[in-house]
Amino acid sequence: MFLTTLALVLAAAPSAQGAAAPGRSSKPQMGWNSWNTFKQNINQDLIESTATAIVEKGLAKAGYNHVVMDEGWQALERDAEGRQQHNATRFPAGIAALADHVHGLGLKIGLYSDSGIFGCGFTPGSWGYEELDALTYAGWGIDYLKYDNCGGFHAGTRTQQERFQTMSAALLSTGRDIFYSLCQWGHQFPWFWADGVGAGSYRMSGDIHARFAEDKANICATAYCLNTGYAGVSVLTMIRKMREISPFQAKHRRSWADMDMLEVGVGSNVSGKVVMMSEAEEQTHFSFWAALKSPLIIGADVTKIRESSLRVLLNEDIIAISQDERGEAVRYLPGLSTEGSVQVWGGPVETGTFRHVLLALNYGKNATAIEVPWEGVVGLEECPGGGVKVRDVWADKDLGTIREKVLLENVEVGQTKVLLLSC
């Protein structure tokens, strides 16, 4: 059943050279989502104040233009005509009025639903109501749908590919361009088929949590585990999973592997105390999400975010890497890496005069020097005389022309050196 459905959706996939279809984008989407910090505890005032902060703190100007309500906006039952309803206590003005407010700030608005009979918090899902729900969202002025799969296993015998395709068709039939973001945790390896069901992005793993290196129990490290990992995936494990998936990240597919919302500026409760990632760890987190072409969706409370985290999210060079015109993710370079100690990733990029990006991560136990010979980086072998122009992104420093190899000294644990390169 799955293979038959997969063949059908791949046959229906748009041409590689075609323009981005409605619900998709030629670049990874950027914005904010309520789940990482607030879970289901959201309301009208929170969404309005967040939208205002996104504008006032320069995040909108930097490209973070989607404000997405995760689960928590819905009533527990549909109305007499079967339509989804908002929670009238939390959102007294209604979703259409909230959408008008967000649009008035120059931003787009999104919300959450599920491909099954209920969402993760047991609010009504969209299975069997896809056309009605899509029309309802379009009528409210919604621009973005995060579509979950918690109730999907209770949706009769229909495969997730069929259910996701049904909602995609329903969204397209409204005539409104609603970005379509799937949340199915890497189940059945969606990098092979998500573009064929009309998804603009798709989750490739279980939920992230705000820890740099520590996973919760039973988290699988690689992309091709049948258990793709439940809530509690660390930043490092999410990066590890992308070794197998990054070759699928390409502009012509218009469907991006989503490494989950950013934990930059989000703390983790450890023995009753809130523990934050270090600034170097947050830089690593943001750098890899950008270079691997994951959507950049902020998960922090932007009304209270600390200045160091805000600086990370506003770094112009890193955002340019994410949003470049080439639209190709970096690849893991095993010949330049040392398992358990150093990871080196690289790939082509188009940001101003630079044509390559290199990421060198120390994830060992001690500070170390990392040496990268240019001959190990595809594309640099053509540089005349072996000279490569180098910019150290996080140091905000041009290093001039360096020949043959670069030596990165005293890279601290959890730190990533991001270099922009050109001949």
Six-digit token string for 335: 């010949």
Q: Which amino acid would we find at residue 85? A: Q
Which of 148, 215, 260, 301 is catalytic? The answer is 148
Task: State the DSSP string of 41-52.
Answer: ---HHHHHHHHH
Q: Are residues 289 and 213 in the same domain?
A: yes
Q: Which of 302, 322, 342 is the last residue of a domain?
A: 322
Q: Are residues 132 and 221 in the same domain?
A: yes
Q: Which amino acid would we find at residue 272? A: G
CA of residue 176 relative to chain centroid, distance: 23
The HSE-up count of residue 149 (CA atoms within 13 Å, CB side) is 23
The total domain count for the chain is: 2
| Residue 359: CATH number of its domain | 2.60.40.1180
Q: Are residues 64 and 131 in the same domain?
A: yes
Q: Which single residue is written with the structure tokens 């009605």? A: 132
Q: Which of 285, 301, 322 is the last residue of a domain?
A: 322
Q: Are residues 302 and 339 in the same domain?
A: no
Predicted pLDDT at 11:
40
Q: Are residues 98 and 247 in the same domain?
A: yes
Burial class from Cβ neighbours inside 10 Å (0-12, 13-18, 19+) for residue 286 reads buried
Beta carbons of 185 and 205 less than 8 angstroms apart: yes
Q: Are residues 290 and 195 in the same domain?
A: yes
Which of 143, 207, 215, 324 is catalytic? The answer is 207
Is 148 marked active-site? Answer: yes
Q: Are residues 158 and 207 in the same domain?
A: yes
Q: Which of 304, 322, 340 is the last residue of a domain?
A: 322
The HSE-up count of residue 169 (CA atoms within 13 Å, CB side) is 12
* Entry pTM: 0.94
Q: For residue 173, give its domain range.
A: 2-322
* pLDDT one digit per residue (tens) for the chain, 423 residues: 444 444 444 444 443 334 567 889 999 999 999 999 999 999 999 999 999 999 999 999 999 999 999 999 999 999 999 999 999 999 999 999 999 999 999 999 999 999 999 999 999 999 999 999 999 999 999 999 999 998 877 767 789 999 999 999 999 999 999 999 999 999 999 999 999 999 999 999 999 999 999 999 888 889 998 776 578 999 999 999 999 999 999 999 999 999 999 999 999 998 899 999 999 999 999 999 999 999 999 999 999 999 999 999 999 999 999 999 999 999 999 999 999 999 999 999 999 999 999 999 999 999 999 999 999 898 888 888 889 999 999 999 999 999 999 999 999 999 999 999 999
Q: Are residues 315 and 364 in the same domain?
A: no
- Helix residue spans in 267-422 (DSSP H): 279-291, 307-313, 316-322
Q: Are residues 105 and 223 in the same domain?
A: yes
Predicted pLDDT at 78:
98
Predicted pLDDT at 415:
99
Q: Are residues 174 and 150 in the same domain?
A: yes
Selection from 211, 190, 210, 209 nearest residue 201 by Cα: 190
Q: Are residues 264 and 397 in the same domain?
A: no
Q: Which single residue is written with the structure tokens 């990992």? A: 229
| Residue 95: CATH number of its domain | 3.20.20.70
Q: Are residues 281 and 382 in the same domain?
A: no
